C-alpha cells in the first residue's frame, strides 16, 4: 500500500500549481478548492481586501445577490484589520451576537482565517471551515501556504498590468520613443481654432412683403419659388367690406354735394342761406376725404412686388382665408443669385474671430462639396431664436459667386478663428467645463 504524500510535498505542489495559474480567476479557484489536498475542510471563502466575495468552494460563479454571499460580506466587517498577518482560529460559539445566528446557519463550527499578505499589503482573506477544530500545526502549515498564495496573487496583478501596457506600447524601444515624439509634436502642431454652427443660405437684399392692413387673404397670384418682376401682383385681400364702405362713402359724398349745390342756389335769393354754405362745404370735404381714404385702403388690398426675384413663402393654401394683422410677414422676394450664409453661434462656442474669418459651409444636400465664405457680420449680443435657444447671429459672404446656392438650403458651418496648438484645440472645451464646475 502506497503511503500518503507528506504535508511538505503537498505544500510544494500547491505552491507550484498556484504560481503556474494562467490567470487570476484560475488562481482564486485553486485557493478555495485545491487547498483541500493539504488540509481537509468543508467550505472555503475568498474575499478581496474590500470585502467582495471572489470565490466559493464548489461554486463556479459567485452571485453577489444571494443571501449567503450577502451574509459573508457582513461577516468580513467583523474580521481583524489588515495589519494582522498570522492565521486566526475561529469558533462559531465565540462569534459576536450580530453574526452568531448566521454562522450556525451557513458555516461549520470551526474555521481558520488566513490573511494573504504581500509586501505588507493584504490582497485578500481565505476562510476554511469544518466541524473539527484546526490545530497549531495546520495553522503553521497554512501560514507558509498563504505566503506562496499571496506571492502568486501579486505576480498575477503585475502580469495583468504589463499585458495592458503591452497592448498600448510597442515592444521596440526606438519605435516607442518615435511614437512618443510624434505625439508630442502633434500636440504642438498649429491648427486653426474652429467651431461648428447650424447655418442657412439666405438672400442678401430681400424684399420682405408684409401685410399693409388688417384683413383676410383672399387670393395668391403666384406659387412658391415663382419668378417675380417689379409691379407684378402678389396677393389680394378680401375687399368686400371696403367696397361696401366705399359705396356708402360715395353716396354720402353725392348727397353732401347735392345739399351744397342746392343751398348755393338758394343763397342767391335768400341771404340767410349763405351762412350754411361754409358748413356744407366742410361736410363735402369731409365726405370726399372719407371716400378717398377708403379708396386708398381698397388699393392696398392688391399687393404688388417692388423688386425682381423669386417668391419665398410657404403653401398659399395655408394663407387663404387666414386673418392677418398689419405688419405680419407674408412672403419674401429675393434674387436667387444674391445669397449669403446666416449661422447661429451659441455663447458657449463663441471664440475670438477676425473681421474676415474663414467659414466653410457643408450643405445637407451636398456635403461633399463645401462652400467657402468670409465673415461679414457677427452680432455683438445674443438673441433668442424660435427654437428657444440663445445665439449670436453671423453672416458671411460666399466667395464663389458664379454658382451660389439657392436660398433656404441648410447645413453646418465651420467657423475658423485664430491659430492655436493642437493641445489647446483638444483641451479648450474640457478646461472650460471644469472651470465652470469648480467656479474658478
**pLDDT recorded at residue 94:** 75
Residue 362 in any domain: the answer is yes
Q: How many CB atoms sit inside 10 A of residue 232's CB?
A: 16
Residue 236 in any domain: the answer is yes
Q: CATH number, domain at 429?
A: 2.40.30.170
Residue 181 in any domain: the answer is no
DSSP string, 128-152: EEESSPP-HHHHHHHHHHHHHHHHH
Q: Please tell me whether residues 95 and 147 are part of one structural domain.
A: yes
Q: Please tell me whether residues 229 and 134 are part of one structural domain.
A: no
**pLDDT recorded at residue 374:** 92
Q: Please tell me whether residues 135 and 156 are part of one structural domain.
A: yes
**pLDDT recorded at residue 413:** 92
Q: Which of 33, 32, 35, 75 is nearest to 51 (CA)?
A: 75
Which domain-ending residue is among 309, 329, 349?
Answer: 329
Residue 185 in any domain: the answer is no
Residue 177 in any domain: the answer is no
Q: Which domain holds residue 268?
A: 207-329
Q: Please tell me whether residues 222 and 346 are part of one structural domain.
A: no
Residue 312 in any domain: the answer is yes
Q: Please tell me whether residues 415 and 284 are part of one structural domain.
A: no
Which residues of the chain are modeled with pLDDT < 50? 1
**pLDDT recorded at residue 373:** 92
Q: Please tell me whether residues 234 and 323 are part of one structural domain.
A: yes
Residue 199 in any domain: the answer is no
Q: Please tell me whether residues 310 and 359 are part of one structural domain.
A: no
Residue 353 in any domain: the answer is yes
Q: Which of 131, 158, 134 is nearest to 39 (CA)?
A: 134
**pLDDT recorded at residue 1:** 47
Q: What is the pLDDT of residues 285-310, one digit of tens each?
A: 888 888 888 888 888 888 888 888 88
Q: Please tell me whether residues 303 and 231 are part of one structural domain.
A: yes
d(CA 433, CA 438): 9
Which domain-ending residue is among 109, 139, 168?
Answer: 168
Q: Please tell me whether residues 35 and 149 are part of one structural domain.
A: yes
**pLDDT recorded at residue 412:** 93
Q: What total number of domains does the chain contain?
A: 3
State the pTM of this model.
0.47
Which domain-ending residue is among 312, 329, 346?
Answer: 329
**pLDDT recorded at residue 360:** 92
Q: Which of 81, 78, 50, 43 is nearest to 64 (CA)?
A: 50
Q: Please tell me whether residues 345 and 227 are part of one structural domain.
A: no
Q: Is 120 left (phi over 0), alpha (psi -120 to 50) or beta?
A: left
Q: Please tell me whether residues 254 and 312 are part of one structural domain.
A: yes
**pLDDT recorded at residue 394:** 92
**pLDDT recorded at residue 362:** 93
- To which residue does cell 506562496 refer? 148
Q: What is the DSSP-derived secondary structure letter of residue 204?
A: S
The order of strands in the sheet holding 323-324 is 302-304, 233-237, 215-220, 323-324
**pLDDT recorded at residue 149:** 85
**pLDDT recorded at residue 359:** 92
Q: Please tell me whether residues 41 and 164 are part of one structural domain.
A: yes
Q: CATH number, domain at 63?
A: 3.30.450.40
**pLDDT recorded at residue 174:** 66
Amino acid at each position: 500500500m502506497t503511503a500518503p504524500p507528506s504535508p511538505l510535498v503537498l505544500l510544494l505542489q500547491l505552491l507550484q500549481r498556484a504560481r503556474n495559474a494562467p490567470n487570476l480567476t484560475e488562481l482564486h479557484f485553486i485557493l478555495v478548492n485545491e487547498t483541500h489536498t493539504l488540509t481537509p475542510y468543508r467550505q472555503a471563502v475568498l474575499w478581496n481586501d474590500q470585502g467582495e466575495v471572489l470565490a466559493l468552494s464548489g461554486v463556479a460563479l459567485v452571485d453577489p445577490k444571494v443571501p449567503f454571499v450577502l451574509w459573508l460580506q457582513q461577516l468580513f466587517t467583523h474580521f481583524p484589520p489588515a495589519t494582522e498577518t498570522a492565521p486566526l482560529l475561529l469558533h462559531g460559539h465565540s462569534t459576536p451576537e450580530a453574526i452568531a445566528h448566521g454562522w450556525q446557519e451557513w458555516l461549520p463550527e470551526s474555521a481558520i482565517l488566513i490573511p494573504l499578505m504581500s509586501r505588507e499589503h493584504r490582497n485578500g482573506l481565505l476562510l476554511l471551515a469544518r466541524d473539527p477544530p484546526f490545530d497549531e500545526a495546520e495553522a503553521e502549515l497554512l501560514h507558509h501556504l498563504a505566503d506562496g498564495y499571496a506571492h502568486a496573487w501579486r505576480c498575477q496583478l503585475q502580469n495583468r498590468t504589463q499585458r495592458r501596457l503591452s497592448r498600448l506600447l510597442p515592444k521596440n524601444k526606438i519605435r516607442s520613443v518615435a511614437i512618443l515624439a510624434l505625439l508630442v509634436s502633434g500636440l504642438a502642431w498649429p491648427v486653426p481654432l474652429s467651431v461648428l454652427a447650424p447655418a442657412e443660405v439666405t438672400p442678401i437684399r430681400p424684399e420682405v412683403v408684409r401685410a399693409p392692413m388688417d384683413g383676410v387673404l383672399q387670393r395668391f397670384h403666384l406659387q412658391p419659388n415663382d419668378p417675380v418682376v417689379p409691379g407684378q401682383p402678389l396677393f389680394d385681400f378680401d375687399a368686400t367690406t371696403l367696397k361696401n364702405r366705399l359705396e356708402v362713402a360715395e353716396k354720402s359724398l353725392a348727397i353732401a354735394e347735392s345739399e351744397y349745390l342746392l343751398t348755393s342756389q338758394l343763397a342767391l335769393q335768400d341771404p340767410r342761406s349763405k351762412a350754411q354754405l361754409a358748413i356744407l362745404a366742410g361736410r363735402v370735404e369731409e365726405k370726399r376725404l372719407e371716400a378717398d381714404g377708403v379708396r386708398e385702403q381698397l388699393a392696398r388690398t392688391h399687393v404688388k412686388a417692388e423688386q425682381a426675384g423669386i417668391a419665398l413663402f410657404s403653401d398659399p393654401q395655408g394663407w387663404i382665408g387666414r386673418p392677418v394683422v398689419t405688419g405680419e410677414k407674408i412672403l419674401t422676394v429675393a434674387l436667387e443669385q444674391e445669397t449669403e450664409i446666416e449661422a447661429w453661434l451659441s455663447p458657449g462656442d463663441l471664440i475670438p474671430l477676425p473681421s474676415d474669418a474663414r467659414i466653410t459651409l457643408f450643405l445637407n444636400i451636398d456635403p461633399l462639396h463645401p462652400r467657402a465664405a468670409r465673415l461679414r457680420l457677427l452680432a455683438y449680443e445674443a438673441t433668442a431664436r424660435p427654437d428657444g435657444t440663445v445665439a449670436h447671429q453671423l453672416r458671411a459672404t460666399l466667395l464663389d459667386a458664379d454658382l451660389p446656392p439657392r436660398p433656404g438650403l441648410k447645413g453646418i458651418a465651420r467657423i475658423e478663428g485664430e491659430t492655436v496648438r493642437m493641445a489647446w484645440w483638444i483641451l479648450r472645451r474640457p478646461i472650460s467645463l471644469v472651470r465652470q464646475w469648480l467656479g474658478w
